[in-house]
Amino acid sequence: MLERLLVSQPHMSIPLNAKLLLCGLLAQEFGTEVDPSRISFVSHHLSHAWSAFSMSGFEQSLILTIDGGGDFASGLLAVGSGTEVTPLATFPESDSLGLLYLETIKYLGYGMFDEYKVMGLAPYGDPAPHRDLFEQFYELLDNGGYRIYLDRIGPTLLRSIEVRRKGMPFTQQHKDLSASLQEALERIVFHVLRHHSEITGIKRLSLAGGVAHNCTLNGKLLRSGIFQDIFVQPAAHDAGCALGAALMMSNELGQSAPRERLQEVYWGPDLGSDRAVEQELIAWGGHIEIERCDDVASRAAEWIAMAPLSAGCRDDRNSDRVRLATVAFLPTLGRPQTRIGSTRLSRSAKAIAPLRHPCWRRTPTSSLNCQIAGRNFPL
Protein backbone atom coordinates (compact mmCIF):
# COMPACT_ATOMS: atom_id res chain seq x y z
CA MET A 1 0.00 0.00 0.00
CA LEU A 2 2.83 2.38 0.85
CA GLU A 3 4.49 1.72 -2.50
CA ARG A 4 1.25 2.40 -4.41
CA LEU A 5 0.77 5.70 -2.59
CA LEU A 6 4.35 6.76 -3.27
CA VAL A 7 3.88 6.09 -6.97
CA SER A 8 0.47 7.76 -7.24
CA GLN A 9 1.35 10.74 -5.02
CA PRO A 10 5.13 11.22 -5.25
CA HIS A 11 5.02 14.68 -3.65
CA MET A 12 3.08 13.51 -0.59
CA SER A 13 5.00 13.19 2.66
CA ILE A 14 4.26 9.60 3.69
CA PRO A 15 5.40 8.12 7.01
CA LEU A 16 7.01 4.72 6.61
CA ASN A 17 5.03 3.28 9.52
CA ALA A 18 1.79 1.93 8.05
CA LYS A 19 -0.22 2.62 11.21
CA LEU A 20 0.88 6.25 11.21
CA LEU A 21 -0.05 6.49 7.55
CA LEU A 22 -3.56 5.21 8.23
CA CYS A 23 -3.94 7.54 11.19
CA GLY A 24 -3.01 10.45 8.95
CA LEU A 25 -5.49 9.44 6.25
CA LEU A 26 -8.29 8.97 8.81
CA ALA A 27 -7.55 12.36 10.35
CA GLN A 28 -7.60 13.94 6.90
CA GLU A 29 -10.91 12.35 5.91
CA PHE A 30 -12.83 12.53 9.19
CA GLY A 31 -11.15 15.36 11.06
CA THR A 32 -10.37 13.28 14.13
CA GLU A 33 -7.20 11.89 15.63
CA VAL A 34 -6.83 8.11 15.96
CA ASP A 35 -4.50 6.39 18.41
CA PRO A 36 -2.17 4.12 16.35
CA SER A 37 -2.39 1.45 19.06
CA ARG A 38 -6.06 0.98 18.16
CA ILE A 39 -5.20 -0.10 14.60
CA SER A 40 -4.62 -3.79 13.89
CA PHE A 41 -3.85 -5.61 10.66
CA VAL A 42 -5.74 -8.83 9.92
CA SER A 43 -4.69 -11.27 7.21
CA HIS A 44 -6.89 -11.47 4.13
CA HIS A 45 -8.03 -15.07 4.45
CA LEU A 46 -8.50 -14.98 8.20
CA SER A 47 -10.84 -12.05 7.57
CA HIS A 48 -12.79 -14.17 5.08
CA ALA A 49 -12.85 -17.08 7.53
CA TRP A 50 -14.19 -15.01 10.42
CA SER A 51 -16.81 -13.36 8.20
CA ALA A 52 -18.23 -16.81 7.42
CA PHE A 53 -17.88 -18.77 10.65
CA SER A 54 -18.92 -15.97 13.01
CA MET A 55 -22.23 -15.54 11.19
CA SER A 56 -22.93 -19.22 10.45
CA GLY A 57 -24.59 -20.02 13.77
CA PHE A 58 -22.42 -23.16 13.99
CA GLU A 59 -20.65 -24.08 17.21
CA GLN A 60 -18.14 -25.95 15.07
CA SER A 61 -17.48 -26.18 11.35
CA LEU A 62 -14.84 -26.54 8.71
CA ILE A 63 -14.07 -23.21 7.05
CA LEU A 64 -12.89 -22.90 3.46
CA THR A 65 -11.93 -19.57 1.91
CA ILE A 66 -10.97 -19.56 -1.77
CA ASP A 67 -10.39 -16.66 -4.15
CA GLY A 68 -7.94 -15.21 -6.65
CA GLY A 69 -5.48 -14.20 -3.96
CA GLY A 70 -4.75 -11.96 -1.02
CA ASP A 71 -1.70 -11.57 1.24
CA PHE A 72 0.22 -14.05 -0.95
CA ALA A 73 -2.35 -16.83 -0.46
CA SER A 74 -5.35 -17.99 -2.48
CA GLY A 75 -7.13 -20.01 0.17
CA LEU A 76 -7.38 -21.17 3.76
CA LEU A 77 -8.77 -24.35 5.30
CA ALA A 78 -9.55 -23.95 9.01
CA VAL A 79 -11.67 -25.25 11.85
CA GLY A 80 -14.00 -22.89 13.65
CA SER A 81 -14.95 -23.92 17.17
CA GLY A 82 -16.68 -21.66 19.68
CA THR A 83 -14.78 -18.38 19.52
CA GLU A 84 -11.65 -19.80 17.90
CA VAL A 85 -10.56 -20.21 14.27
CA THR A 86 -7.64 -22.63 13.84
CA PRO A 87 -5.93 -22.82 10.41
CA LEU A 88 -5.26 -26.32 9.06
CA ALA A 89 -3.85 -25.54 5.61
CA THR A 90 -3.16 -22.58 3.34
CA PHE A 91 -3.01 -22.51 -0.44
CA PRO A 92 -0.45 -20.25 -2.19
CA GLU A 93 -1.33 -17.78 -4.93
CA SER A 94 0.42 -20.04 -7.44
CA ASP A 95 -2.34 -22.62 -6.79
CA SER A 96 -5.20 -20.15 -7.04
CA LEU A 97 -8.58 -21.57 -8.01
CA GLY A 98 -9.80 -18.05 -8.69
CA LEU A 99 -6.98 -17.54 -11.20
CA LEU A 100 -7.62 -20.96 -12.75
CA TYR A 101 -11.11 -19.74 -13.56
CA LEU A 102 -10.02 -16.25 -14.61
CA GLU A 103 -7.18 -17.38 -16.86
CA THR A 104 -9.50 -19.79 -18.67
CA ILE A 105 -12.42 -17.43 -19.26
CA LYS A 106 -10.10 -14.97 -21.03
CA TYR A 107 -10.28 -17.38 -23.98
CA LEU A 108 -14.08 -17.25 -23.84
CA GLY A 109 -14.20 -13.47 -24.27
CA TYR A 110 -14.57 -12.67 -20.58
CA GLY A 111 -12.49 -11.06 -17.84
CA MET A 112 -12.47 -10.35 -14.13
CA PHE A 113 -15.91 -10.35 -12.48
CA ASP A 114 -17.40 -12.24 -15.45
CA GLU A 115 -16.85 -15.62 -13.81
CA TYR A 116 -20.53 -16.04 -12.96
CA LYS A 117 -21.44 -15.81 -16.65
CA VAL A 118 -19.24 -18.80 -17.46
CA MET A 119 -20.67 -20.70 -14.48
CA GLY A 120 -24.09 -20.03 -16.03
CA LEU A 121 -22.90 -21.16 -19.47
CA ALA A 122 -21.49 -24.45 -18.16
CA PRO A 123 -24.82 -26.37 -17.92
CA TYR A 124 -25.26 -25.95 -21.68
CA GLY A 125 -22.03 -27.85 -22.34
CA ASP A 126 -20.54 -31.31 -21.93
CA PRO A 127 -17.30 -31.50 -19.91
CA ALA A 128 -16.16 -34.76 -21.52
CA PRO A 129 -14.57 -33.40 -24.75
CA HIS A 130 -12.08 -31.21 -22.84
CA ARG A 131 -11.69 -33.24 -19.64
CA ASP A 132 -8.26 -34.60 -20.57
CA LEU A 133 -7.14 -31.12 -21.58
CA PHE A 134 -8.11 -29.63 -18.21
CA GLU A 135 -6.41 -32.41 -16.31
CA GLN A 136 -3.15 -30.89 -17.59
CA PHE A 137 -3.91 -27.73 -15.60
CA TYR A 138 -4.10 -29.26 -12.12
CA GLU A 139 -2.94 -32.18 -10.01
CA LEU A 140 -4.66 -33.71 -6.99
CA LEU A 141 -2.17 -34.51 -4.21
CA ASP A 142 -2.28 -36.60 -1.06
CA ASN A 143 -3.89 -35.29 2.13
CA GLY A 144 -6.36 -33.06 0.32
CA GLY A 145 -3.70 -31.02 -1.46
CA TYR A 146 -3.60 -29.88 -5.06
CA ARG A 147 -1.40 -27.99 -7.50
CA ILE A 148 -2.44 -25.61 -10.29
CA TYR A 149 -0.33 -25.11 -13.43
CA LEU A 150 -1.45 -21.65 -14.52
CA ASP A 151 1.36 -21.32 -17.08
CA ARG A 152 -0.08 -24.20 -19.12
CA ILE A 153 -3.54 -22.73 -19.64
CA GLY A 154 -2.86 -20.10 -22.32
CA PRO A 155 -0.57 -22.10 -24.63
CA THR A 156 -2.77 -25.21 -24.40
CA LEU A 157 -6.04 -23.42 -25.11
CA LEU A 158 -4.55 -21.45 -28.01
CA ARG A 159 -3.60 -24.76 -29.65
CA SER A 160 -6.83 -26.56 -28.82
CA ILE A 161 -9.85 -24.27 -29.23
CA GLU A 162 -11.25 -21.46 -31.30
CA VAL A 163 -10.75 -18.46 -29.04
CA ARG A 164 -13.92 -16.43 -28.57
CA ARG A 165 -13.66 -12.67 -28.60
CA LYS A 166 -16.09 -10.50 -26.69
CA GLY A 167 -19.36 -10.13 -28.57
CA MET A 168 -18.85 -13.17 -30.78
CA PRO A 169 -21.50 -15.93 -30.75
CA PHE A 170 -20.94 -18.98 -28.58
CA THR A 171 -20.15 -22.29 -30.22
CA GLN A 172 -20.76 -25.67 -28.65
CA GLN A 173 -17.01 -25.86 -28.08
CA HIS A 174 -17.18 -22.75 -25.89
CA LYS A 175 -20.04 -24.24 -23.88
CA ASP A 176 -18.16 -27.51 -23.47
CA LEU A 177 -15.06 -25.62 -22.32
CA SER A 178 -17.14 -23.83 -19.68
CA ALA A 179 -18.48 -27.17 -18.48
CA SER A 180 -14.95 -28.61 -18.25
CA LEU A 181 -13.73 -25.60 -16.26
CA GLN A 182 -16.62 -25.85 -13.82
CA GLU A 183 -16.05 -29.59 -13.44
CA ALA A 184 -12.34 -29.05 -12.72
CA LEU A 185 -13.12 -26.49 -10.02
CA GLU A 186 -15.67 -28.80 -8.41
CA ARG A 187 -13.34 -31.78 -8.51
CA ILE A 188 -10.53 -29.88 -6.74
CA VAL A 189 -12.77 -28.40 -4.04
CA PHE A 190 -14.43 -31.76 -3.39
CA HIS A 191 -10.98 -33.35 -3.07
CA VAL A 192 -9.93 -30.82 -0.42
CA LEU A 193 -13.14 -30.89 1.58
CA ARG A 194 -13.79 -34.63 1.47
CA HIS A 195 -10.34 -35.31 2.94
CA HIS A 196 -10.59 -32.78 5.75
CA SER A 197 -14.16 -33.71 6.61
CA GLU A 198 -13.10 -37.35 6.96
CA ILE A 199 -10.07 -36.68 9.16
CA THR A 200 -11.86 -34.15 11.41
CA GLY A 201 -15.30 -35.75 11.44
CA ILE A 202 -16.84 -32.28 11.04
CA LYS A 203 -20.08 -32.23 9.03
CA ARG A 204 -20.73 -28.50 8.79
CA LEU A 205 -19.05 -26.07 6.43
CA SER A 206 -18.62 -22.29 6.29
CA LEU A 207 -17.59 -20.78 2.94
CA ALA A 208 -16.16 -17.39 1.93
CA GLY A 209 -13.86 -15.88 -0.70
CA GLY A 210 -14.81 -14.90 -4.24
CA VAL A 211 -15.00 -18.50 -5.47
CA ALA A 212 -17.69 -19.13 -2.83
CA HIS A 213 -20.00 -17.08 -5.08
CA ASN A 214 -20.06 -20.14 -7.36
CA CYS A 215 -23.52 -21.31 -6.33
CA THR A 216 -23.39 -24.32 -8.68
CA LEU A 217 -20.45 -25.62 -6.66
CA ASN A 218 -22.22 -24.82 -3.39
CA GLY A 219 -25.36 -26.69 -4.40
CA LYS A 220 -23.39 -29.77 -5.44
CA LEU A 221 -21.49 -29.73 -2.16
CA LEU A 222 -24.75 -29.83 -0.24
CA ARG A 223 -26.29 -32.54 -2.41
CA SER A 224 -23.13 -34.65 -2.05
CA GLY A 225 -23.97 -35.47 1.57
CA ILE A 226 -20.42 -34.71 2.73
CA PHE A 227 -21.89 -31.98 4.94
CA GLN A 228 -25.18 -31.79 6.80
CA ASP A 229 -25.33 -28.01 6.59
CA ILE A 230 -23.46 -25.31 4.70
CA PHE A 231 -23.30 -21.58 5.34
CA VAL A 232 -22.11 -19.22 2.59
CA GLN A 233 -21.21 -15.69 3.63
CA PRO A 234 -23.35 -13.50 1.31
CA ALA A 235 -20.49 -10.96 1.11
CA ALA A 236 -18.08 -13.76 0.21
CA HIS A 237 -16.00 -11.42 -1.97
CA ASP A 238 -13.41 -8.99 -0.61
CA ALA A 239 -16.02 -6.56 0.70
CA GLY A 240 -16.74 -9.17 3.38
CA CYS A 241 -13.16 -8.91 4.66
CA ALA A 242 -14.03 -5.66 6.45
CA LEU A 243 -16.78 -7.48 8.34
CA GLY A 244 -14.52 -10.45 9.11
CA ALA A 245 -11.66 -8.26 10.35
CA ALA A 246 -14.03 -6.38 12.67
CA LEU A 247 -15.49 -9.63 14.03
CA MET A 248 -12.04 -11.11 14.61
CA MET A 249 -10.71 -8.08 16.48
CA SER A 250 -13.91 -7.77 18.50
CA ASN A 251 -13.45 -11.38 19.57
CA GLU A 252 -9.81 -10.79 20.54
CA LEU A 253 -10.92 -7.83 22.66
CA GLY A 254 -13.35 -10.06 24.54
CA GLN A 255 -16.48 -8.76 22.82
CA SER A 256 -17.54 -11.74 20.73
CA ALA A 257 -20.48 -11.35 18.38
CA PRO A 258 -23.66 -13.30 19.28
CA ARG A 259 -23.56 -16.89 18.00
CA GLU A 260 -26.53 -16.49 15.69
CA ARG A 261 -26.94 -17.51 12.07
CA LEU A 262 -27.23 -14.64 9.63
CA GLN A 263 -30.77 -14.84 8.26
CA GLU A 264 -30.89 -11.82 5.97
CA VAL A 265 -28.79 -9.00 4.56
CA TYR A 266 -31.47 -6.35 4.16
CA TRP A 267 -29.56 -3.26 5.21
CA GLY A 268 -30.60 -0.96 2.37
CA PRO A 269 -32.32 2.43 2.64
CA ASP A 270 -35.94 2.93 3.63
CA LEU A 271 -38.13 2.47 0.56
CA GLY A 272 -40.72 4.88 1.90
CA SER A 273 -44.48 4.53 2.27
CA ASP A 274 -46.68 2.04 0.42
CA ARG A 275 -47.72 4.89 -1.86
CA ALA A 276 -44.09 5.73 -2.71
CA VAL A 277 -43.32 2.09 -3.52
CA GLU A 278 -46.44 1.83 -5.66
CA GLN A 279 -45.50 4.93 -7.65
CA GLU A 280 -42.00 3.58 -8.27
CA LEU A 281 -43.40 0.27 -9.52
CA ILE A 282 -45.94 2.00 -11.77
CA ALA A 283 -43.02 3.74 -13.50
CA TRP A 284 -41.85 0.28 -14.58
CA GLY A 285 -45.31 -0.73 -15.75
CA GLY A 286 -44.20 -1.32 -19.33
CA HIS A 287 -41.69 -3.94 -18.25
CA ILE A 288 -43.15 -5.76 -15.24
CA GLU A 289 -46.42 -7.10 -13.88
CA ILE A 290 -47.37 -6.01 -10.36
CA GLU A 291 -49.47 -8.00 -7.92
CA ARG A 292 -50.32 -7.37 -4.27
CA CYS A 293 -50.50 -10.51 -2.15
CA ASP A 294 -50.58 -11.47 1.52
CA ASP A 295 -48.34 -14.55 1.29
CA VAL A 296 -45.38 -13.23 -0.70
CA ALA A 297 -43.21 -16.33 -0.23
CA SER A 298 -45.78 -18.80 -1.59
CA ARG A 299 -46.73 -16.56 -4.50
CA ALA A 300 -43.08 -15.98 -5.39
CA ALA A 301 -42.48 -19.74 -5.39
CA GLU A 302 -45.38 -20.18 -7.83
CA TRP A 303 -43.98 -17.45 -10.09
CA ILE A 304 -40.51 -19.01 -10.05
CA ALA A 305 -42.03 -22.29 -11.24
CA MET A 306 -43.81 -20.54 -14.12
CA ALA A 307 -41.54 -17.68 -15.19
CA PRO A 308 -37.89 -16.66 -14.87
CA LEU A 309 -38.25 -13.20 -13.36
CA SER A 310 -39.49 -12.45 -9.88
CA ALA A 311 -39.23 -9.47 -7.54
CA GLY A 312 -40.80 -8.48 -4.26
CA CYS A 313 -41.02 -5.82 -1.58
CA ARG A 314 -41.70 -6.75 2.02
CA ASP A 315 -42.25 -5.04 5.35
CA ASP A 316 -39.48 -4.81 7.91
CA ARG A 317 -40.41 -6.83 10.99
CA ASN A 318 -40.00 -3.82 13.27
CA SER A 319 -41.84 -1.26 11.18
CA ASP A 320 -45.18 -0.82 9.45
CA ARG A 321 -43.41 0.92 6.58
CA VAL A 322 -42.00 -0.91 3.61
CA ARG A 323 -38.24 -0.86 4.13
CA LEU A 324 -36.71 -3.80 2.39
CA ALA A 325 -36.70 -5.13 -1.14
CA THR A 326 -35.67 -8.42 -2.64
CA VAL A 327 -35.03 -8.31 -6.36
CA ALA A 328 -34.01 -11.62 -7.89
CA PHE A 329 -33.29 -13.12 -11.28
CA LEU A 330 -34.18 -16.78 -10.94
CA PRO A 331 -33.88 -18.94 -14.06
CA THR A 332 -35.81 -22.19 -13.81
CA LEU A 333 -33.56 -24.25 -11.54
CA GLY A 334 -31.98 -27.33 -13.07
CA ARG A 335 -33.38 -26.67 -16.54
CA PRO A 336 -30.67 -25.05 -18.68
CA GLN A 337 -32.72 -25.66 -21.81
CA THR A 338 -35.34 -23.13 -20.63
CA ARG A 339 -35.08 -20.04 -22.83
CA ILE A 340 -36.06 -16.45 -22.16
CA GLY A 341 -36.97 -14.04 -24.92
CA SER A 342 -33.82 -11.99 -25.50
CA THR A 343 -35.75 -8.74 -25.82
CA ARG A 344 -37.56 -9.26 -22.53
CA LEU A 345 -34.37 -10.28 -20.77
CA SER A 346 -32.32 -7.34 -22.04
CA ARG A 347 -35.02 -4.86 -21.02
CA SER A 348 -35.48 -6.42 -17.60
CA ALA A 349 -31.91 -7.29 -16.65
CA LYS A 350 -31.02 -3.73 -15.73
CA ALA A 351 -33.74 -3.71 -13.08
CA ILE A 352 -32.73 -6.92 -11.37
CA ALA A 353 -29.79 -8.32 -9.43
CA PRO A 354 -28.59 -11.95 -9.26
CA LEU A 355 -29.67 -13.95 -6.22
CA ARG A 356 -26.35 -15.67 -5.64
CA HIS A 357 -26.92 -17.11 -2.22
CA PRO A 358 -30.30 -18.64 -1.45
CA CYS A 359 -30.10 -20.50 1.85
CA TRP A 360 -29.62 -24.16 0.91
CA ARG A 361 -30.28 -26.71 3.62
CA ARG A 362 -30.55 -30.50 3.64
CA THR A 363 -33.68 -31.63 5.45
CA PRO A 364 -33.96 -34.82 7.57
CA THR A 365 -35.58 -36.55 4.59
CA SER A 366 -32.52 -35.67 2.45
CA SER A 367 -34.61 -33.68 -0.02
CA LEU A 368 -33.23 -30.37 -1.24
CA ASN A 369 -35.02 -27.18 -0.31
CA CYS A 370 -34.66 -23.54 -1.23
CA GLN A 371 -35.41 -21.21 1.66
CA ILE A 372 -37.17 -18.01 0.61
CA ALA A 373 -38.28 -15.45 3.17
CA GLY A 374 -37.81 -17.96 5.96
CA ARG A 375 -39.92 -20.71 4.36
CA ASN A 376 -38.71 -23.92 2.70
CA PHE A 377 -39.76 -24.96 -0.80
CA PRO A 378 -38.74 -28.40 -2.15
CA LEU A 379 -36.77 -28.42 -5.40
Stretch among 2-16, 110-124, 229-243 having the lowest mean pLDDT? 2-16
Distance of alpha carbon 239 from alpha carbon 355, whole angstroms? 17
- Confidence (pLDDT) at 15: 58
Stretch among 22-31, 194-203, 335-344 having the lowest mean pLDDT? 335-344
Residue 49 shares a structural domain with residue 172: yes
Averaged pLDDT score across all residues of the chain: 81
How far apart, in Å, are the Cα atoms of 222 and each of 9, 260, 291? 48, 21, 34
Residue 73 shares a structural domain with residue 173: yes
* DSSP strand pairing (138-140 vs 146-148): antiparallel
Residue 242 shares a structural domain with residue 281: no
Enclosing domain of residue 24: 2-38
How far apart, in Å, are the Cα atoms of 208 and each of 35, 105, 186, 231? 31, 22, 15, 9
Residue 263 lies in a domain: no
Residue 183 lies in a domain: yes
Per the CB < 8 A criterion, the answer to whether 79 and 98 are in contact is no
- Arithmetic mean of pLDDT, 323-333: 41
- Arithmetic mean of pLDDT, 158-179: 96
Residue 141 shares a structural domain with residue 187: yes
Residue 162 shares a structural domain with residue 16: no
Structure-model confidence comparison of residues 301 and 71, the more confident one: 71
**pLDDT tens digits along 59-106:** 999 999 999 999 999 999 999 999 999 999 999 999 999 999 999 999
- Confidence (pLDDT) at 132: 96
**pLDDT surpassing 90 at residue 374:** no
Residue 121 lies in a domain: yes
Residue 89 lies in a domain: yes
Residue 190 shares a structural domain with residue 141: yes
Residue 24 shares a structural domain with residue 77: no
User: Pick from 205, 222, 252: which residue ends a domain?
Assistant: 252
**pLDDT tens digits along 226-251:** 999 999 999 999 999 999 999 999 99
Residue 29 lies in a domain: yes
pTM: 0.73
Residue 243 shares a structural domain with residue 360: no
Per the CB < 8 A criterion, the answer to whether 190 and 50 are in contact is no
- Arithmetic mean of pLDDT, 160-169: 94
Number of domains into which the chain is organized: 3
Structure-model confidence comparison of residues 305 and 22, the more confident one: 22
**pLDDT surpassing 90 at residue 377:** no
Residue 153 shares a structural domain with residue 61: yes
Residue 50 shares a structural domain with residue 84: yes
Residue 216 shares a structural domain with residue 111: yes
Q: What proportion of the chain, given as a percentage, has pLDDT over 70?
A: 77
Distance of alpha carbon 236 from alpha carbon 51, whole angstroms? 8
